[in-house]
């Protein structure tokens, strides 16, 4: 099975837990990102922030409640206890985590807990498609 290090996006954009919702939104827009690993002052992962986490603070909600200040700290809206993986984990293990926990991305961390990559459900699907194409070519050669 393929190691997750082979399909992850290395050197992910991260954001400090002290950043504001607006700063996070700007970073996501600038990078075309939907998920940001959130780190402490030492660079250790403390959570993950998704574009969905930002909707309430930036847009309000469907019940008509106004949006809180754009200066709300990321630490107050991020998901803590994020599901993580290490570079040597296999794609199947990470794919199961994504499905079982219904998450969009998994930060890949080193032994110190520092983000070294990130894998989204799109990355996993891309790898599955590549494997399916390889299988189809192999079958075509046999026929």
Tens digit of pLDDT for each residue in 65-117?
545 556 788 998 898 999 999 999 999 999 999 999 999 999 999 999 999 99
Question: Angle 121-142/91-101 helices, nearest 10 degrees?
Answer: 130
Q: Is the dihedral of CA 89, 95, 101, 105 positive or negative?
A: positive
Mean pLDDT, rounded, for 40-53: 94
Are 74 and 19 in contact by the 8 Å Cβ rule? The answer is yes
Which superfamily does 4-142 belong to?
Answer: CBS-domain (3.10.580.10)
* Residues 23, 27: Cα–Cα separation, whole Å: 6
Tell me if 122 sits within 8 A of 129, measured CB to CB.
Answer: no
pLDDT for the residue 59: 56
The DSSP 8-state label assigned to residue 80 in this structure reads S
The model's pTM is: 0.83
């Amino acid at each position: 099975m393929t190691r997750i290090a082979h399909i992850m996006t290395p050197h992910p954009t991260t954001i400090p837990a002290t950043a504001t919702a607006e700063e996070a939104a700007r970073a996501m827009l600038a990078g075309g990102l939907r998920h940001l690993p959130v780190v402490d002052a030492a660079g250790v992962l403390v959570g993950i922030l998704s574009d969905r986490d930002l909707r309430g603070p930036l847009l309000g909600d469907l019940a008509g409640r106004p949006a809180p200040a754009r200066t709300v700290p990321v630490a107050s809206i991020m998901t803590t206890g994020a599901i993580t993986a290490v570079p040597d984990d296999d794609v199947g293990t990470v794919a199961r985590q994504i499905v079982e926990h219904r998450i969009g991305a998994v930060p890949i961390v080193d032994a110190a807990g520092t983000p070294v990559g990130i894998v989204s459900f799109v990355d996993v699907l891309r790898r599955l498609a590549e494997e399916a194409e390889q299988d189809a070519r192999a079958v075509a050669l046999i026929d």
